[in-house]
Structure 1
């Protein structure tokens, strides 16, 4: 059985190291996208992962697909057409200077896709899991309709559906996000969010929490997960808990709400190399653990350990191995040289 991930893949352009955009005389290119990052994580753990999108018929798009194939992700259901591959520029922050992202994705091939581009009955044949994020329906009204087609087809086939809310204020308003995502969430079995997503999309706020100050209330997030679960009848809700000390140092943990039971992971103090894609690596780890039948505590520990390691890796894809994740999950976070 396979996991199918649907969304937009983009070219990522960043200055070398920690240079600012205004200092850059050259940019490194890699490829990324919320659901593509999840697919790569899953393939890296040995899962049969398929990625679905629409890209133009040019060499830049070909390079993006080649990168996915190099990570053992199946791209056979990718639709070819449209005018351009979306881009985003990433300036990595350090210490008290925040990271910065600038999008250049308007009129990308996937944002201009039509519902008729995707035969979901065929695409989902042989799948037991479908994953998307709140970024994809935000790209256009057509993309929102395509996502609805996909989750309806998945439910008709009794396929587990996961969604990372991933609210992006540059793509749509909270009001539109709430309306569109409410229609999609009724088909979701596993919801993933961070400290802000539930509030920005559905107005569900954690009490006694100050994200900027790094104060997170466990009771507040249990209530958030419980409210989201009951509102849309979602059995499993995972919320990442990031305590941002600075752009370079974060506390990182998560909670899992599963049919009324609550599990909190251990906390990691991370010295960050590249945090972009960190949430996606958490999603990939969680999907892997749940599909493998891990109990609630082990599932959230695996997902957080996977994401912790991603924060130490350049670019969006999580290149951590399954053994590395399991070792960290088991308590080996010493960072000693492996010989």
Structure 2
């Protein structure tokens, strides 16, 4: 049940604590990125996982690779070369002040990668699942072509393909996203997203929903999933339901639409430590649940619980075990000391 992910891993630089960029005289450095976070989460769950990318052939590129290898992610298909590793700066929000992200990823190695950097039949040998996000094709036209080639190859070889839409307004326009993603998702079996992704990428808006006020309408999300399924023939559509109370406190749940039926998870009220990677941890949890044969409701609950825990962990990655997720699923969210 090996899983392959493809995308960009970046250096994340963040002021300490809740400091603002303009205050910072030092930054904490970690590595992360959508598909890399998914691979790492799956490796922590005991699933064989490989991350495919391109990083510069220098010590920073090697450090990014090492950040995945130390947790058991297969990095043997990461190509070396190009000018630089992408960077992003993350400022934590608090209370009514939102978090902010600034990208510095132009001309990164993956943005200039070429077809010959990746042998997809070799990469997919022995794998059953392939995961990508809408971030990768947004990086550059070359990355967009590689993303399309990757899903075509995965589908031709019989893998289940999942895609987290992950619309990023700082990377491309709504028009470009719709054009590119409409072609890419033709090869996708499991579509993952949130209310903004569906609206910005495909123009499908959840009815009677206002995420800024925390008002979510279940019927509206069912309608979104039905429209996505009708448009693209997805086998499953998963939508995360985040009700923002403040930068520190969110309601967190999700819906899974499959075979004409909508399933909803329990809701968690989360006091957030670090929300970056929350969607990636949900995707990894859902993949884990489905690939290990859990009933769909259980797979959904596993995904939401694992993502709930990620919000309590510093950095991009979800450093939790299957046992910890199942404890929360079982109703123990007390946070009492485990001795």
TM-score over 0.5 for the pair: yes
SS in 1 for 2:16: coil
Counting only pairs closer than 5 Å after superposition, residues 29-40 of structure 1 correspond to structure 2 as 29-40=29-40
**Match for residue 317 of structure 1?**
317
Q: Report the Cα distance in structure 1 between the residues aligned to 2:317 and 2:212, rounded to whole angstroms.
A: 26
Deviation digits for residues 153-181 of structure 1 (CA, Å, limit 9, x no counterpart): 11111100000000001111111111110
Q: Report the Cα distance in structure 1 between the residues aligned to 2:23 and 2:142, rounded to whole angstroms.
A: 38
How far residue 230 of structure 1 moved from its aligned partner, in angstroms, is 1.2
How far residue 148 of structure 1 moved from its aligned partner, in angstroms, is 1.2
SS in 2 for 1:110: helix
**Match for residue 111 of structure 2?**
111
How far residue 86 of structure 1 moved from its aligned partner, in angstroms, is 0.2
Q: Report the Cα distance in structure 2 between the residues aligned to 1:274 and 1:323, rounded to whole angstroms.
A: 21
Deviation digits for residues 220-252 of structure 1 (CA, Å, limit 9, x no counterpart): 000001110111000100000000000000000
SS in 1 for 2:131: strand
Deviation digits for residues 202-229 of structure 1 (CA, Å, limit 9, x no counterpart): 0000000111111110000000011101
Q: Report the Cα distance in structure 2 between the residues aligned to 1:322 and 1:266, rounded to whole angstroms.
A: 18
Q: Report the Cα distance in structure 1 between the residues aligned to 2:13 and 2:248, rounded to whole angstroms.
A: 20
**Match for residue 288 of structure 1?**
288
SS in 1 for 2:111: coil
How far residue 259 of structure 1 moved from its aligned partner, in angstroms, is 1.4
**Match for residue 5 of structure 1?**
5
Deviation digits for residues 269-301 of structure 1 (CA, Å, limit 9, x no counterpart): 000000000000000000000001111111110
Counting only pairs closer than 5 Å after superposition, residues 57-72 of structure 1 correspond to structure 2 as 57-72=57-72
Is 1:96 equivalent to 2:96 in the alignment? yes
Deviation digits for residues 102-123 of structure 1 (CA, Å, limit 9, x no counterpart): 1000000000111221111111
**Match for residue 332 of structure 1?**
332
Counting only pairs closer than 5 Å after superposition, residues 142-161 of structure 1 correspond to structure 2 as 142-161=142-161
**Match for residue 133 of structure 2?**
133
Q: Report the Cα distance in structure 2 between the residues aligned to 1:128 and 1:147, rounded to whole angstroms.
A: 18
Is 1:43 equivalent to 2:49 in the alignment? no
Deviation digits for residues 25-76 of structure 1 (CA, Å, limit 9, x no counterpart): 1001000000000000000000000000000011111111011000110000
* TM-score, scaled to structure 1: 0.99
**Match for residue 308 of structure 1?**
308
Q: Report the Cα distance in structure 1 between the residues aligned to 2:275 and 2:152, rounded to whole angstroms.
A: 33
Q: Specify every segment of 5 or more residues in structure 2 that has no aligned partner in the other structure, as ranges.
A: none
Moved over 4 A (4+): none
Counting only pairs closer than 5 Å after superposition, residues 164-243 of structure 1 correspond to structure 2 as 164-243=164-243
Is 1:17 equivalent to 2:17 in the alignment? yes
Deviation digits for residues 138-164 of structure 1 (CA, Å, limit 9, x no counterpart): 111111111111111111111000000
Q: Which moved more, 1:109-118 or 1:270-279?
A: 109-118
Q: Specify every segment of 5 or more residues in structure 1 that has no aligned partner in the other structure, as ranges.
A: none
**Match for residue 81 of structure 2?**
81
**Match for residue 260 of structure 1?**
260
**Match for residue 122 of structure 1?**
122
CA RMSD of aligned residues (A): 0.6
Deviation digits for residues 306-338 of structure 1 (CA, Å, limit 9, x no counterpart): 000000000110011111101101111111110
